[in-house]
Amino acid sequence: MPAKRSTLIRASLALAALAVFNHAMAARSERKHPPRGRFIDVDGVRMHYLQSGEGPPVILLHGNGATAEDWEASGVFARLTIDHQVIAFDRPGFGYTTRPRGRVWTIARQAELIAEAMRRLGVGPAIVAGHSLGSIVALELALRHPEQVSRLVLLSGFFYPEARADVALMSGTALPVLGDVVAHTIAPPLGWLFRRKVFRAVFSPAPVTSRFGAKLPFGLSLRPAQIRASAVDAAMIIPATLLLRGRIQHVTMPVAIMAGSGDRVVDFERHSGRLHTEIPASTLHPLEGVGHMIHHTSPGEVARVIAGAA
């Protein structure tokens, strides 16, 4: 028994030291990459967003694990600001938008939050574009508040329930208490260790772009709070797709669906291709030889589709 107690004490001390180190690294990342946009308080959430340009409004919603700066790093944001007023939100728990505890941050709740932020900013109806998980938020927003969406652009989206390895891998981090322990201790160093492998996987079969590594503040994504937000959002994907059943055909505004035919994160035919057949007012824009990160690999094409020029 003493030996077991000693081992437990050493393990606890090691985890505590790791948590202190990760907290220091998170603070360092925030000092290095402070918020660059504006803030608005919406229903107890302090929302951070980037805004630039003039013209018809465009709302950009990032995917899981990313921030609003993902749109800037890709080059899509700057291209759109030439002729549009562009707003890219940090979704709850990402970047510098808070994610209050005590609420279940479903995809539907996130869509409601974005809708209210748009109302308070006096924006809309707007072109709403979402990438990856952000595309489900965008679709839910269009279904719940069609008066606020003039056109919908869905990039590399996941729309139908199926077993996912990332949900299984991140399920522990999404659990109460245990998830906090994992997020504050072992998850950040594992993220640093496997980051290049993850980057290659989401870009494959295309190469990782030089702008991706140079422009994105990756350290912000490995803060414990954001790691946990990513895990919980991953766990929300399948329930969100189940709630879309029987509702997709009610989308009435024009919809552009865009994805890489070589996407190894979300199968093109099972998701984007199938969605195109279920939404009468949709157009499908496949990109050959491109993976999940189409806005980084093909920013010009993505910007043209969002702007309605393609």
Q: Across-strand partners of 299?
A: none
Taking the domains of the chain in order of start, what are their residue ranges? Answer: 2-307
Q: Average pLDDT per run of 10 along the chain, which is 310 residues long? A: 71 83 89 94 97 97 95 96 97 97 93 97 94 97 96 96 79 83 89 90 93 82 93 92 91 95 94 94 94 96 86
Measured in whole angstroms, the distance separating CA 63 from the mean position of its chain's CA atoms is 2
What pLDDT is attached to residue 310?
44
What pLDDT is attached to residue 309?
58
What pLDDT is attached to residue 205?
95
C-alpha angle 265/68/116, rounded to 5°?
105
Question: Which CATH fold topology does 2-307 show?
Answer: Rossmann fold (3.40.50)
The burial class, CB within 10 Å (0-12 / 13-18 / 19+), for 8 is exposed
What pLDDT is attached to residue 94?
96
CA–CA gap between residue 126 and residue 245 (Å, rounded)? 25
| Amino acid at site 191 | G
Q: What is the pTM of this model?
A: 0.93
Helix (H) or strand (E) holding 193: helix 187-203
